Structures are given as C-alpha cells and as structure tokens.
Amino acid sequence: MDFVNGLKQKDTVEIGDILTGDFKGKEIKIKGAVHTVRDMSEFSFVVLRRYDGLVQCVYEESKIPEFNSKVLREGATVEVTGTVNSEERAPGGFEIRINAIRLLSEPAKDSTMPIPISKWKLKTSLETKLSLRPISLRNVRERAIFKIQEGLVRGFRDFMFSQHFTEIRTPKIVAGNAEGGANVFKLEYFGKKAFLAQSPQFYKQTMVGVYDRVFEASPVFRAEKHNTTRHLNEYTSLDFEMGYIDGFEDIMDMEAAMLKYTFQFLEEEYAKEIKLLGITLPDVTNIPAVRFDEAKRLVSEKYERKIRNPYDLEPEEEILIGRYFKEEYNSDFVFVTHYPSKKRPFYAMDDPADTKFTLSFDLLFKGMEITTGGQRIHSYEDQVAKMVARGMDPNDFTNFLMIHKHGMPPHGGLGIGLERLTMRLLDEQNVRETTLFPRDVSRLEP
Amino acid sequence: MDFVNGLKQKDTVEIGDILTGDFKGKEIKIKGAVHTVRDMSEFSFVVLRRYDGLVQCVYEESKIPEFNSKVLREGATVEVTGTVNSEERAPGGFEIRINAIRLLSEPAKDSTMPIPISKWKLKTSLETKLSLRPISLRNVRERAIFKIQEGLVRGFRDFMFSQHFTEIRTPKIVAGNAEGGANVFKLEYFGKKAFLAQSPQFYKQTMVGVYDRVFEASPVFRAEKHNTTRHLNEYTSLDFEMGYIDGFEDIMDMEAAMLKYTFQFLEEEYAKEIKLLGITLPDVTNIPAVRFDEAKRLVSEKYERKIRNPYDLEPEEEILIGRYFKEEYNSDFVFVTHYPSKKRPFYAMDDPADTKFTLSFDLLFKGMEITTGGQRIHSYEDQVAKMVARGMDPNDFTNFLMIHKHGMPPHGGLGIGLERLTMRLLDEQNVRETTLFPRDVSRLEP
C-alpha cells in the first residue's frame, strides 16, 4: 500500500532561496515560464517568470547544441540547470548560466502573444486588457495590483481576529434583500423566486446575537444598470458587525484602527509590490469626521456651489468634500456622519436628537465612498415601527425580526468595497483596473 | 473638527480578562446577554453569555431594590457592575456579585424563547433547529461548531500562505461552467444568460499562469435536485491549484500537509471548542492511497459485494472503502486515485499508461468524499483534442483555452467541501448541522 504523508523535498530552488541563501558559483535547478528571450550574437538572455519575480538566465547555444533556442518561446515553461553568478544589472543582482534545459510545457504551435506582457507597463486600452485578462495579468505590474488586494484582505482579517471577531460564511442565494430596490439579481430556485445577496446585512446582524462580533469578506451582487468607472455588478465586500457598542462612533474607531493596522501590514509584508507600483500609503492617524449637513455647507461655501438637495450627496459633492479635507486637513480620508434617514435603509437607527438623520456614516477616500456603516435598530418595537412607517409589511421579515424579538445588544457595522479601496490606494481611474475579472452591464467574460 | 483615531479604552472587561488577570475581590463592569435566570429564595443566579463563554452573576434583590429581577428576561442585554469572587462550581471558576445593573436592550414585550437555548444540547429536530437558526445558534454547543469551521478555514489559509500560494477572488456570476451538466443555476444578466459558478475551476487554472500557486475559499453553487444528508445547493469550497508539479501526487502531498497543519492549528487555537464538542482529531500522518479499480476490488472481496459498474463508485462503496481502510490501516482518510476518465471533466489529464483512467483522486474521510482533485491538461493541442473527442466545441471555450494557447506549466489542484469536512470531523449525520444557513431544494430561509 502507498501512503501520502506530506511535502517531499524537491531538488529545485525558488528565487527567494537564491536571494537569501549562499548560491554564488553553485549549480542549481529552477523552474519558470519564459518571460522574454533576447538573442545576442553568441548567446541569449532568457528571463524566467515565477510568482516572486524574474530570473535572468544566460544561454549559450554552443554549450547545449542539442537544445535549439527557437524552442524557448514566450510562455513555454522550463526547468533550467545552471550556475548562479553575481550580475548587478540583472533582477535580484544575479543571473544563471545555463548548463542544461528541460522543457516542461509549450504554448500552442504557431501562437504568438497577443499583448507584450513582458513590457513594464501594458500600454493597451483597458478594454483590451480586460478582454485578454488571463494573459494580461501575467504582466508583472498587473499581478502586483492583486497582491496588494490580497494584502488588504489579510490585514482586515488579521485585525478582526485580533479584536475577537468571528469569521462567518453567509448564503449568497437569499429569499429577500436588505437594501431592497430594483438592483437585485433574480434567479429561479426550484420553482421559487430567489435573489443574489446585495449584502450580508441580515445575516451579519443575526450573527451578532451569536458571537457578539462578526466579519465576512465575500462577494455581493448588485444589478446596477449604470456603467460607470466606480460601479461593479459583483464585488467583494469587507463587512463587520459588532455588538455592545456605546454608539456608532465605536464602529468608526474600529475601522480607523483596522486601516492603520492594514496599511502597516502592507508596508511590512508587501514592500516589494508597494515599491513596484509606487504606492504612497495614506496617513490614517487622524481622520476628520464631519456631519453630512455640515460637509455640504463647507464645500458649498468654499467652492461656491449651490446646495441643490439638502438630503442627498451627489458624486461631485463627494469629490469636493474629499478635496476640502485634503486641502484643509491634509487627509485622504473623511468620515461623513449623520446621513439623512431617507437615504438609509429601514434597519438604520435614527438620531434621537433629530430623527431626520441617522446614526450612520460613510467613509470617503480621496473623494469616493468606500464604506457605508452605522448603528442598527436593536429594539423589536422600534424596528417594526420603522418598517410600518415605510409601508413595509413586518410579516415579510419574520426571520430577520426573530433576532430583535428575542433580544439583540446595541450594535452596528459597516461594509467596505474592496475593489474601490484598492482603486483609491493605487490612484487608478477605473474600478475595473483593480478587479480580477470584473462584471459589468456589458462584461460577463472572461 | 472631530477626529477619529482608533480604539478607545473601555471601562468594561471581557471574560478572558477575568480568567487571565487578577480580579479577585475587585469590582468590574462586564456586558452580556442574559442566558438564564434562576430564582432562588434570597437571590437569583443570572448567567450572562458572551462570545467567549458564560459568566455566573449573583443578584440579591434586597441589595438593588430599584432594579426588579423580572426585567432580567432571557435575551436582554445588560451591563453589570460587581465584585469578582472565586466560585469553583461556576464557569471559569468565578462569579460576579452584582452591585448595579444597567439594561442595554430588551427582547420584544411578551416574547418567550421558542427553544431552550440555554440547555447544553438542543433536543429539537434538525428541522426546528434550522427554522429557528438565528436563535438556535445562540446555544453554546451550536455556535462552537462554527468556530471549528472558522478554524478549518484559517488553518487552510495560513498553510497556503506559508507555501507561497496567492489568495484570489474569482467571479461567481459566469458565462459558462466548468463541470457542465444540468445542476447549474441560471440567472438573467442584463438580457444575457448567465450562471452561478459551480466551482472556480477555469479561473483558478487561469491564475496559475499568473501566480504559479493560488487558492480561494468561497461559495459555489450546485442546482442539485437531490435532497440528501450530504448535498447542499450552496456550499463553501476550499480550492487550490498549483503549477510546476511533477505529478498529481504533489497535490495529494500538499493536501496531506495542509490537513496536518490545520488539525494541529485547531488543537492549539480552538482547544476550548474541541473539548466542548468532544472532538477527536484524526491522525493524518500516513494516509493510504489506493487506485480506484483496486479499491473496488478490495471491498468487493472483503465485504462480498458484487461490482456492478467498474467505472462508477456508489455511495455505499465509498462507505465500505472508508470502513476497509479504518479496519485494515486504522486510517479515517483514504486517497482513491486514477478515477475513470468518463467520470471526470474534460480538463482532467488522462493517465498516459491507460487513458481510460485519469491522473486524479478523491479524498474520503470516514467513507465520504470531501475532496476531488487531479492534474489538468496543460497542452493546448491536448485540451482541444479532448474537447472535440467529447463532442464539445472549442469555440465555446475561447477564454479558457487562451491560457493553454499562451503557455501553462504542468499543474493541478483540488476542491474541498468545507461543510462536509466539518461534518465528518464532528461525526454529524447531516451536512446541514455544519452549515450556518443551509440552502437545499426546500430551504431558502432563514
């Protein structure tokens, strides 16, 4: 009988091994994809691509006559045996003088790369880049974007765990939706009508009754018909929800602390990508917090802009609020608090001091909303009353109201749009740049 | 201007603080939900529930006459001020003698708990438990199940990161599906036909071309019409996919190492829940690996069972294979390798030694399939040929074939059903027991 008992020692090395170990003058084996081949007269430079960087190899045809350099096409994968030499001009400060090559796989016969992925920056249109996503992501700069995104989620999760939040997994196929409205995807579910979850709202509130503090990083779905630079029809929402709060300020404090932790985590763990993409990590030591109505007044005064609707915030106003707090307080972030009750869902808690407003907030990052959060109603009677006042039937929400009926601590939470956060951090102009395989009104593939 | 700058020091303590700190005889403040109230003649025991356990408080009505014990209904949340006393018979070895109580929230007027969640084990039917899920999860034993599940995912992710896998987020709304067949949910997508992803298969293979090794822990959707104890219509799949493999054995080695790491991680980080649920962590030091045809032969001989179809494995056979390897090798796990080509999807690599079989495997845990994996075809010409041989049109798979066309390393991967893994680990008889909010043919709520 054969037994499986864990990882085997391999005789190949990784780029990281070479950078940190003492391999100079030694023969090693390394695997990789052919990134570029540059034919010189006597020899060729063959650059291999691996997950953690590029390796320059030098191939002399005279040395391995049985191996024709023509085989070394971009996209082939190989195992190279060679001697490590210092070479300042090569990535990582070393190159490998090839003694032997073994071909592991080849691209299709007669295929040619549709875009020059080995160039530093892909100078193609976003449209082309997205249509060729499986290939364009092989570009070193493109893939660094999604390492940063990975780091943002890791930082978020690590911080949540450190604050005793429990990670939950809530269903994406649901019977009803928290946000309501028309922007919901419908599907046929064994003869019943079902929807895709616009957010884990009901479930995360529910789970506060179980674990006090919960979080989830998962896909949400919005059937938005707008085809803008900042909307997606499927995106990743970083959600948390916490009980026993003294007020919605506790939620903002938690988010500020999370961002601080996460940016520091990126600085430590993703230094390579930060350098590669030229990211300046924002300062989140002191994030200004301003009331919704006050924010509108401030930008209206400073930028001589008429307030058209006191209960709504236009995208242009968001941009101006961002600009105002950058100019006046040198902050890339600003919390806008006390959103009008009309603009918030039925589970939002109204401000007892003025019920036209809610105990809620958005977080703007460089003039764009990346977070919506706030305190929720915990009292059964209050929640039913607000539903009725909005013309909703509490009988449609029996499962949700079960938690209020049997007791909920004062609680609140927020949702962060991961792709938008990444977009703003990288100063990208379109949220599709920071989405692995974006879904929009006209894009369902790849 | 107000500024938000991180977490504030609170004057309340957590159960963990009391257990690890020196609070004996001191007055503290603690918040929690009323779990049970037991009225004695002179005083009441009030047990509070928090995420990390239960706290016994002692309330003397004569001491706080202004606070009526009748207010302390199950599900109310309170802030208790009291003195910490050693008390061996109380959870954690201490109790709190209440000096003051502040009510934070109350359940609905006239509401009563629909199930006795403060009992050790809920002795209700699964059906009732699921219908009342928002409340039944408040039971200490029930919620421990999903802490274990959290730990399984954390262990998986931590191990993947340690092995240089990149975490990816692939779309759940897709234009086509990897597994094909009828069990796919359809939805209307802006006038186009779209589907819910049955697995991240195409995308994870695609991302191997970018990061060499990738993983994802995310929801997948199967429109299975079977209402069995082991099928769900939405579940969490722990997927990984790795390039530059020497064979499909590398994938099994990686899984075995991951399981070893994860069970050890559970032992260290989730000791409380392991004890609470009485879990015996399985030994994964040596997992037997047996060929599909050989496994069928072995159980047919030992249990005198006729082989009805040499190219298929019935659930009863899976159970017997599990039993065989438990009896003969004392192993809860067994890898069954070389599944018939007919039973595997078009992207599976056939065994060059006998193309009726594939370089693939399932992992059985106590007689149930929890993993399907294997090596994938990396050659463009081979992949096109296999599609054509199956009567598929390669033009329907242009985006997927793009990766083969432009070069893919030899690669493979697997998917693990998280809820099934949890179910087997906990010796539960129904996968719904280990699913937070299960979705099946007849259940779409809560």
CB atoms B399 and A134 under 8 Å: yes
> Tokens 């079977």 identify what position?
B226
Query: Tens digit of pLDDT for each residue in A288-326?
Result: 999 999 999 999 999 999 998 999 898 899 999 999 999
Residuewise pLDDT in 10s, chain B (446 residues): 899 999 999 999 999 899 888 899 999 999 999 999 998 888 899 999 999 999 999 998 888 877 766 778 999 999 999 999 999 999 889 999 999 999 999 999 989 999 999 998 898 999 999 999 999 999 999 999 999 999 999 999 999 999 999 999 999 999 987 776 779 999 999 999 999 999 999 999 999 999 999 999 999 999 989 889 999 999 999 999 999 999 999 999 999 999 999 999 999 999 999 999 999 999 999 999 999 999 999 999 999 999 999 998 988 999 999 999 999 999 999 999 999 999 999 999 999 999 999 999 999 999 999 999 999 999 999 999 999 999 999 999 999 999 999 999 999 999 999 999 999 999 999 999 999 999 999 999 99
Say whether residue B349 is in contact with chain A using an 8 A CB cutoff: no
**How many angstroms separate the CA atoms of A430 and A444, rounded?**
17
In order of A88, B152, B239, the CA distances from B418 in angstroms are 48, 8, 10
Chain A 126-185, CB below 8 Å of chain B: which residues? 132-135, 137-138, 143, 146-147, 149-150, 153-154, 161, 163-164, 166-175, 185
Contact B199, B400 (CB under 8 A): no
Contact B433, B423 (CB under 8 A): yes
CA nearest neighbour of B38 among B51, B24, B22, B54:
B54
**How many angstroms separate the CA atoms of B413 and B213, rounded?**
9
User: What three-state secondary structure class fits B291?
Assistant: strand
Say whether residue B77 is in contact with chain A using an 8 A CB cutoff: yes
How many helices (H) and strands (E) chain A has is answered by 12, 19
Say whether residue A256 is in contact with chain B using an 8 A CB cutoff: yes
Burial group, residue A392, by CB count within 10 angstroms (0-12, 13-18, 19+): middle
Closest approach of chain B CAs to the CA of A207, in angstroms? 7
Residue A28 burial (CB count, 10 A): 17
In order of A39, B34, B91, the CA distances from B76 in angstroms are 76, 5, 20
DSSP string covering A187-242, please? Answer: EEETTEEEEE-S-SHHHHHHHHHHHSEEEEEEEEE-------SS--SEEEEEEEEE
Would you put residue A53 in left (φ > 0), alpha (ψ -120 to 50) or beta?
left
Contacts with A180 (C-beta within 8 Å, 6 or more apart), sequence order: A345, A346
Alpha carbon A81 to its chain centroid, in Å, reads: 38
Cα dihedral B342/B346/B348/B352 (nearest 10): 70
Contact A322, A368 (CB under 8 A): yes
Contact A12, A79 (CB under 8 A): yes
Query: Tens digit of pLDDT for each residue in A139-151?
Result: 999 999 999 999 9
Q: Angle at Cα A234 formed by Cα B371 and Cα A434, nearest 5°?
A: 95
Instruction: Report the relative pairing of strands A234-243 and A287-291 from DSSP bridges.
Output: unpaired
> Tokens 């609070």 identify what position?
B23
Contact A206, A401 (CB under 8 A): no
Contact A289, B3 (CB under 8 A): yes
Contact B186, B193 (CB under 8 A): yes
Contact A410, A377 (CB under 8 A): no
Q: Choose among B4, B253, B255: nearest Cβ to A335.
A: B4
Measure the N-to-C terminal CA separation of chain B; round to a whole number of Å: 43
Residue A158 burial (CB count, 10 A): 15
Q: ipTM, 2 decimals?
A: 0.97
Query: Could you tell me where the beta strands, DSSP code E, fall in A341-408?
Result: 350-351, 354-358, 360-365, 368-376
**How many angstroms separate the CA atoms of B406 and B241, rounded?**
18
Q: Which domains does chain B have, with CATH numbers?
A: 15-105 (2.40.50.140), 140-434 (3.30.930.10)
Omega of the bond prior to B65 within 30 degrees of 0, cis? Answer: no
Q: What is the mean pLDDT of residues A391-416?
A: 97
Say whether residue A97 is in contact with chain B using an 8 A CB cutoff: no
**How many angstroms separate the CA atoms of A49 and B407, rounded?**
12
Contacts with B350 (C-beta within 8 Å, 6 or more apart), sequence order: B341, B357, B358, B359, B386
Instruction: Report which secondary-structure segment, H or E, holds B110.
Output: none
Residue of A406, A418, A420, A441 for testing the chain B interface, max B β-carbons within 10 Å = A406
**How many angstroms separate the CA atoms of B105 and B335, rounded?**
52
CA nearest neighbour of A4 among B268, B337, B442, B99:
B337
Q: Residue B422 gets which letter from DSSP?
A: H
Contact B58, B95 (CB under 8 A): yes
Which of chain A's residues have a Cβ under 8 Å away from the Cβ of B233? 173, 189
